[in-house]
Structure 1
Amino acid sequence: MASFRIRQFQERDYKQVVDMFSRGMEEHIPTAFRHLLTLPRTLLLLAGVPLALVLVSGSWLLAVVCIFFLLLFLWFLSSKPWKNYVSYCLHTDMADITKSYLSARGSGFWVAESGGQVVGTVGARPVKDPPLGRKQLQLFRLSVSSQHRGQGIAKALVRTVLQFARDQGYTDVVLTTGLLQHGAVALYYSMGFQKTGESFMDFLTWLMDVSLIHFIYPLPSTQKCEL
């Protein structure tokens, strides 16, 4: 197993961080495509439109061509939320990681480094309007390169955020992840995060039945965080 260390983000890491984050998000496109193909509305579309063309034109070739272009359209549809999300992140908090995460009190951004390369990232910022009596830290941008998964890096990064939250006096760590990010969902459950609800990012994700899952990890001041 390769060794790694977790340290605070430095400006020289920026390109590696952005490249790894972008690749990691786009890895979910095939999963989203397969998920979309299982939906009843998609199956109805793939069966109904070509059949209607056969009934109208009498051409099975036209129906086959129609299915091909429908699949291309569905692939485009599957990729759209992930590409939009990457673009949004790169134009907001990840446009200037130092300003977004390291210049503000109670925030942080860390990288996992192995062999001189950035192989994992995680960030955290305070929740602006937490529930009354709570001080919450939100976990962002957890990502591990595909070549370094299964080595405990993601868990170590989450532990870093949990310890930071406790040191800074937060009462909870909260986060949001996608339903189709199966590895992340399993990780959070295994570490004791509790699901608080689900939502959809926009109409397109609702249409694709790809929800966001919201998690919380309470950090009572009278109890040591189980890491």
Structure 2
Amino acid sequence: MAPYQIQKYQENYRKWVVGLFSKVMTEHLPITFHHILKLPRNLVLLLWGPLALFLVSGSWVLAFMASLALPAALRFLAKYHWIQFEVMSLHTDMSDITKSYFSESGSCFWVVESEGQVVGMVGALPVKKPTLWNEQLQLLHLRVALEHRGQGISKALVRTVRVAWHQGYSEVVLSTSMLQYSALALYQRLGFWMMGFFFSTSYRLGVVPAIQFIYRLPFAQVSQALEQGGGL
């Protein structure tokens, strides 16, 4: 196992960070495509669509072309969802990481360096909700290169974000896809609780929804217990 170190982002890491972000994103395509294929309405469409087209048109050629085009369309749908997320991220918070993640208390972006390469990353930004009683920090863009997984890097990055309670935040929140099974297991092992599901605008087209998680930082748990018990 190659040694690694976690440190704050610097601009000379940008090429590595963007490359890792895009590379890990493509890993979600196969499992998302398989998920979409297995949805009941899509199975019906794949099985009966070409047959219905043949019955209407009487052309086996059209039916055969439809049997090829439908899976291709579903694969494009799976790919489009992740491309849309990648493009949005690269044009918002990740367009200028220094400006987005180093401009206010609690926000930060960390990278994992191993043998001169960036092999992992994670960001944290305050959740801007004026009516929120508890100050929340959002964990974003947790990524670890495939060849460096299984070394505890993801766990170390999440724990790095949780140290944010020193900055006065009481909760860490995040969202992840239902199909990212290893990520779901990791967050639950580290004490995160599932809040519910988040349905994006593309959910109706078959893309899997995201799950929202929350972790209550230690000092917030103590404060809540004191409030419930009437204080000291």
Amino acid at match of 1:177: T
Distance in 2, matches of 1:47 and 1:153, equals 43
Q: Gapped runs of 5+ residues in structure 2?
A: 223-232
2:218 alignment partner, SS class: coil
TM-score relative to the length of structure 1: 0.93
Distance in 2, matches of 1:222 and 1:63, equals 61
Judge conservation of contact 1:2–1:151 (CA < 8 Å) in 2. Answer: no
Amino acid at match of 2:199: F
Q: Say if 1:222 and 1:76 are closer, same or farther in 2 by CA, change over 3 A.
A: closer
Structure 1 stretches of 4+ moved >4 Å: none
| Counterpart mapping for 1:172-183 below 5 A | 172-183=171-182
Displacement of 1:61? 4.0
Distance in 2, matches of 1:136 and 1:92, equals 20
- Report what 1:184 is aligned to: 183
Amino acid at match of 1:171: S
Amino acid at match of 2:208: V
Amino acid at match of 1:185: L
Amino acid at match of 1:215: F
Moved more, 138-147 or 174-183: 174-183
Displacement of 1:223? 6.4
Q: Say if 1:171 and 1:131 are closer, same or farther in 2 by CA, change over 3 A.
A: farther
2:113 alignment partner, SS class: strand
CA-based RMSD of the aligned residues comes to: 1.6
Q: Gapped runs of 5+ residues in structure 1?
A: none
Amino acid at match of 1:106: G
Q: How many residues align?
A: 222
TM-score relative to the length of structure 2: 0.91
2:213 equivalent among 206, 212, 215:
215
1:94 alignment partner, SS class: coil
1:93 alignment partner, SS class: coil
Distance in 1, matches of 2:186 and 2:194, equals 12
Moved more, 181-190 or 76-85: 181-190
Displacement of 1:24? 0.8
- Report what 2:169 is aligned to: 170
- Report what 1:129 is aligned to: 129
Distance in 2, matches of 1:79 and 1:132, equals 35
Displacement of 1:130? 6.4
- Report what 2:226 is aligned to: none
Displacement of 1:209? 4.7
Q: Say if 1:222 and 1:132 are closer, same or farther in 2 by CA, change over 3 A.
A: closer
- Report what 2:147 is aligned to: 147
Judge conservation of contact 1:130–1:136 (CA < 8 Å) in 2. Answer: no
Structure 1, residues 16-61: CA drift from partner, whole Å, max 9, x if none? 1011011111210111100001000101111221111222344434
Amino acid at match of 1:81: H
Distance in 1, matches of 2:104 and 2:10, equals 15
